[in-house]
Chain A
Amino acid sequence: MSRRAIFVLLLLIALLLGSAELFARLIVQRHSKVEVMVTREHREALALRPAANGTPKQLLIVGNSFVGMDLDLPTLQQRLAPAWNVHRYWLYNTYYNDWYYGLKRLLAEGSRPDAIAVTFATTSFQISTIRGDYSSYYLFQPRDLLSLESAADLDNTETANLLFARYSRFYGLRSEIRKVLLQSVLHDLPRMYNLFHPPSGTPLKGATVSSAITPRLAALEQLTSRYGVRLLIIVPPLPRPGQEFQPEMRQAAARAGITVVMPYSSHDLPASLYIDDVHLSPEGALKFSETIAPLLADALGATPQPGVDASDFHRDHPQAPVVGIPAALAVQHRP
């Protein structure tokens, strides 16, 4: 065995790693519907600037799958026009820490919407977990990783992985690539996830939620006000009584001086308007959006517009993605 054999072996490994990175950047990022959407939304969010006199103001809605599934963007856009343009930027499975640091990066990199609406269930503000490597590429700045390590209770290896994922597109995307490949081998794999129930933890107590979310809302408010950006919170309904913590959210938002839009509780919408045990169906999203549009308009100081058929929006914006994701993914991806 010669040294040449080792050199060729290491070279082959390096070539494969390089090819994986190129594959992620050139193929996956350009051809995956989800990646195309996230990249475009990220780019658009980054390009937002405060409105000049007489031009529409910019509202950026960020959050997790509730943004994608519980909000009907065309409806909101129609109802808030012409005073406001509505943009969104969302990632599956993301939580408070993802978006606190995500907004920090977005604002630090120059994004200046007039208002930001963070859309989460109350419990998404309470838990400390993050999505992980995937969100690192889009949301985190390397200089924030040490602070994130303690905020999300990560260990050094997990933090180092985030740093790696911040620069390697393949590393951040690898679990998504694996899912697609596995599905091509086992076509009915998404159905397997029907077997898995959400982990049954100890039921949360109101006091726990309140003590966790109060400083977090205050931190979000502090962050956005530093850049002169107005902050709103949109809380979608959940079909699970006892999981909404509405009084706690109202109290925490009031303390932080944030407007919270939370029109429904669990029993206000029929089960038929939910697509699974978390998200609204397209009809539910339409109803929810129609309900919150005047509330948002009121909070933002816009005159609400009467209802317009959302298909007009799609006609005017043919590139705009249709809200909703395949049922298979909806099951895999909790908010």
Chain B
Amino acid sequence: MLFDSPVFFVFLTAVVGCYWLLNRRQQNVMLLVASYFFYGWWDWRFLGLILLSTIVDFFCARYIARSTNRQKRKLLLTISVSLNLGFLGFFKYFNFFADSLAHALGAVGMPVNIAFLRILLPPGISFYTFQALAYIVDVYFGKLEPAESIVDYALFISFFPHLIAGPIQRPSHLLPQVQSPRRFDSRQFFQGVLLILSGLFRKCVIADNCALLANSAFNGRMGSPTLPVVALGTYAFAWQIYGDFSGYSDIARGAAKLMGFEFMLNFRQPYLATSLQDFWRRWHISLSTWLRDYLYIPLGGSRHGEKRTYRNLMITMLLGGLWHGANWTFVVWGGIHGLGQSIGRFLSRLRPSASDASHPSWLRLWWKRIFIFHIVCLAWIFFRAQSLSYAVSFIRGLSVPAWRPEYAIAFKFLALFSIPLFLLDLLLENRREEYLFENKKVPLQWAYACGLVLAVLLFGANQSNAFIYFQF
């Protein structure tokens, strides 16, 4: 059930309509059933997987909290973590590692025949696995009381707005909301509707239109890569993935608000970042903070000298890349970000005064923004390409100048659908709003909502593009 499909809004309307008629306990049961229905809509066979993981994690966490025996606590933690990572590893990475192993053995003169399995990737497995891991780890370290009710815990894991593609919710943030009564708040509900409309605009108008160019360039439908094709494809994909994922996050956050829940912010104008560190404070914030708290800091963070810090950064970003998909392209994507952050950190330590300037000149600010945007775009090529070799040959196209008049039209088309999001981000950055006119008078917000609806109705592309992050 895609968030931009009519059936989702029929489902959401029915759920929200019933929801506010029930008490907290009934609400949670109803939301859990609705969430499993939502998940089973994709493929009911995967329900068993999420149920098994939920039950095991719930009981492991309870026994960890009750037990004072260190060995037993560690064993329970290991069982829970192994189960979650085992599911993720098997369903997402089995063929990837098997293939990589076969290649590696072949390269050293030991060819092997590995049977690949036809494995379907359960939707959202990367997201709910990370939520479950955060829960069990927090309980183990005593940062969180385990859930008393399995319904509450199951709802925390499978609440449908975040189930398939996040934002990855921290147990300390969402679980207390699940466990306490929600009150209908008109302002929150209003904001929820506006966020959903804003998300639909980002997805249907920006992302799906940019996808036309990005898909054509990366699938070879524009011919062999040349400078204009690479530029069109890369810029288009940059705006596609941003519109797509931030749109999804807005709809998820908006849907949660309709039911009195607050999800963490996932995007904050990432293409206005002035460094890669800054980019990761603005892009997929729920993942970057998860990686920081559960991987980078446990690895030692920046506490053990510069070299260890660079190593930790690289490990975090490489694994963060691999989290996105079972392909070396994602690892390289993560590597570029890790390397970029390390270099940025190194340079900022060389010239601390330059990087500390809190009010850089206009020219310097925009130079940094444009530079970082292009580094991010370079990395997107690896993210989008089907293989490493394709990414390299695509980048080589930069050295092939060629021009056809049709390219100019394609650039105009791209500008038509990317500049609005860019301008929107500039306004949001300056006004510190989540959606435009958030802090203005209600009639202006009504007018804005109508504008968004009209834009979605009239310019929304109809390409049946599933949200990109659904595949992760």
Interface residues of A (CB under 8 A from B): 1-3, 5-6, 8-10, 12-13, 16-17, 20, 132-133, 155-158, 160-161, 164, 170-171, 174-175, 177-178, 181-182, 185-186, 188-189, 191-192, 194-200
Question: In the complex, how many angstroms separate the beta carbon of B398 from the nearest chain A beta carbon?
Answer: 18
Q: Which residues of A contact B457 (CB under 8 A)?
A: 16-17, 20, 170, 174
> What are 19 contact pairs spanning A and B, CB under 8 A?
A5-B442, A12-B449, A16-B450, A156-B42, A157-B2, A157-B5, A160-B7, A171-B6, A178-B459, A178-B461, A178-B462, A182-B459, A186-B409, A186-B412, A192-B409, A192-B413, A195-B410, A196-B216, A197-B222
Contact B6 A164 (CB under 8 A): yes
Q: Which residues of B contact A157 (CB under 8 A)?
A: 1-2, 5, 7-8, 41
Q: Which residues of B contact A12 (CB under 8 A)?
A: 446, 449-450, 453
B454 interfacial by beta-carbon distance below 8 Å:
yes
Q: A164-B7, A192-B406, A195-B221 are in contact. List 5 more A-B contacts (CB 8 A).
A: A16-B450, A16-B454, A16-B457, A160-B7, A197-B222
Q: Mark B436-472, 1 if CB is under 8 A from A, else 0.
A: 0000001001100110011001111110100000000
B404 interfacial by beta-carbon distance below 8 Å:
yes
In-complex Cβ contact of A2 among B8, B186, B446, B464 (8 A): B186
Report the bound CA distance from A164 to B5 in whole Å.
Answer: 10
In-complex Cβ contact of A156 among B1, B412, B459 (8 A): B1
Contact B223 A197 (CB under 8 A): yes
Q: Which residues of A contact B450 (CB under 8 A)?
A: 12-13, 16
Closest chain B residue, CB of each to CB of A194: B406
Contact A155 B409 (CB under 8 A): no
Tell whether A158 pairs with B406 under 8 Å between CB atoms, given A178-B458, A185-B416, A186-B416: no
Interface residues of B (CB under 8 A from A): 1-2, 5-8, 41-42, 186-187, 189-190, 193-194, 197, 216, 219-223, 404-407, 409-410, 412-413, 416, 442, 445-446, 449-450, 453-454, 457-462, 464
In-complex Cβ contact of A6 among B193, B460, B461 (8 A): B193
Q: Which residues of B contact A161 (CB under 8 A)?
A: 5-7, 464
* 7 A-B pairs with least C-beta separation: A160-B7, A175-B462, A1-B187, A192-B409, A164-B6, A1-B186, A16-B453
Contact B189 A133 (CB under 8 A): no
Contact B406 A160 (CB under 8 A): no
Q: Which residues of B contact A158 (CB under 8 A)?
A: 464
Question: In the complex, how many angstroms separate the beta carbon of A141 from the nearest chain B beta carbon?
Answer: 19
Contact B222 A196 (CB under 8 A): yes
Q: Which residues of B contact A164 (CB under 8 A)?
A: 6-7
Question: In the complex, how many angstroms separate the beta carbon of B180 from the nearest chain A beta carbon?
Answer: 22
Question: In the complex, how many angstroms separate the beta carbon of A12 from the nearest chain B beta carbon?
Answer: 6
Contact B6 A9 (CB under 8 A): no
Closest chain B residue, CB of each to CB of A185: B416
Question: In the complex, how many angstroms separate the beta carbon of A312 from the nearest chain B beta carbon?
Answer: 41
Q: Which residues of B contact A156 (CB under 8 A)?
A: 1, 7, 41-42
Contact A6 B406 (CB under 8 A): no
Report the bound CA distance from A3 to B189 in whole Å.
Answer: 9
Report the bound CA distance from A1 to B187 in whole Å.
Answer: 5
Closest chain B residue, CB of each to CB of A188: B409
Report the bound CA distance from A160 to B41 in whole Å.
Answer: 11
Closest chain B residue, CB of each to CB of A16: B453
Closest chain A residue, CB of each to CB of B406: A195
Report the bound CA distance from A285 to B284 in whole Å.
Answer: 55
Contact A181 B406 (CB under 8 A): no
Question: In the complex, how many angstroms separate the beta carbon of B255 from the nearest chain A beta carbon?
Answer: 15
Report the bound CA distance from A12 to B404 in whole Å.
Answer: 45
Q: Which residues of B contact A1 (CB under 8 A)?
A: 186-187, 190, 442
Q: Which residues of A contact B416 (CB under 8 A)?
A: 185-186
In-complex Cβ contact of B221 among A3, A8, A186, A196 (8 A): A196
Question: In the complex, how many angstroms separate the beta carbon of B1 from the nearest chain A beta carbon?
Answer: 6
Tell whether A197 pairs with B406 under 8 Å between CB atoms, given A9-B190, A9-B446, A13-B449: no
Report the bound CA distance from A20 to B459 in whole Å.
Answer: 13
Closest chain B residue, CB of each to CB of A176: B462
Closest chain B residue, CB of each to CB of A156: B41
Contact B406 A191 (CB under 8 A): yes
Report the bound CA distance from A199 to B221 in whole Å.
Answer: 6
Q: Which residues of A contact B8 (CB under 8 A)?
A: 157
In-complex Cβ contact of A9 among B193, B220, B454 (8 A): B193
Report the bound CA distance from A16 to B5 in whole Å.
Answer: 17
Contact A155 B193 (CB under 8 A): no
Q: Which residues of A contact B189 (CB under 8 A)?
A: 6
Contact A191 B7 (CB under 8 A): no
Q: Which residues of A contact B413 (CB under 8 A)?
A: 186, 189, 192
In-complex Cβ contact of A3 among B186, B446, B460 (8 A): B186
Report the bound CA distance from A132 to B461 in whole Å.
Answer: 13
Tell whether A195 pairs with B7 under 8 Å between CB atoms, given A10-B193, A175-B462, A185-B416: no
Q: Which residues of A contact B1 (CB under 8 A)?
A: 156-157, 160
Report the bound CA distance from A20 to B193 in whole Å.
Answer: 19
Q: Which residues of A contact B5 (CB under 8 A)?
A: 157, 160-161
Report the bound CA distance from A158 to B189 in whole Å.
Answer: 29
Closest chain B residue, CB of each to CB of A15: B450
Report the bound CA distance from A20 to B460 in whole Å.
Answer: 13
Report the bound CA distance from A155 to B1 in whole Å.
Answer: 9
Closest chain B residue, CB of each to CB of A180: B458
Q: Which of A6, A133, A175: most chain B Cβ within 10 A?
A: A6
Contact A189 B462 (CB under 8 A): no
Q: Which residues of B contact A194 (CB under 8 A)?
A: 406
Question: In the complex, how many angstroms separate the beta carbon of B196 from the nearest chain A beta carbon?
Answer: 10
Report the bound CA distance from A130 to B194 in whole Å.
Answer: 34
Closest chain A residue, CB of each to CB of B193: A9
Question: In the complex, how many angstroms separate the beta carbon of B183 from the nearest chain A beta carbon?
Answer: 13
Contact A13 B453 (CB under 8 A): yes
Report the bound CA distance from A16 to B220 in whole Å.
Answer: 39
Question: In the complex, how many angstroms separate the beta carbon of A27 from the nearest chain B beta carbon?
Answer: 13
Report the bound CA distance from A17 to B457 in whole Å.
Answer: 8
Q: Which residues of A contact B453 (CB under 8 A)?
A: 12-13, 16-17
Q: Which residues of B contact A182 (CB under 8 A)?
A: 459
Report the bound CA distance from A37 to B321 in whole Å.
Answer: 52
Contact B409 A177 (CB under 8 A): no
Question: In the complex, how many angstroms separate the beta carbon of A96 from the nearest chain B beta carbon?
Answer: 19
Question: In the complex, how many angstroms separate the beta carbon of B244 from the nearest chain A beta carbon?
Answer: 16
Q: Which residues of B contact A188 (CB under 8 A)?
A: 409
Closest chain A residue, CB of each to CB of B194: A9
Report the bound CA distance from A98 to B177 in whole Å.
Answer: 48
Question: In the complex, how many angstroms separate the beta carbon of B352 from the nearest chain A beta carbon?
Answer: 45
Question: In the complex, how many angstroms separate the beta carbon of B165 from the nearest chain A beta carbon?
Answer: 15
Q: Which residues of B contact A181 (CB under 8 A)?
A: 458-459
Report the bound CA distance from A182 to B205 in whole Å.
Answer: 12
Report the bound CA distance from A186 to B190 in whole Å.
Answer: 35
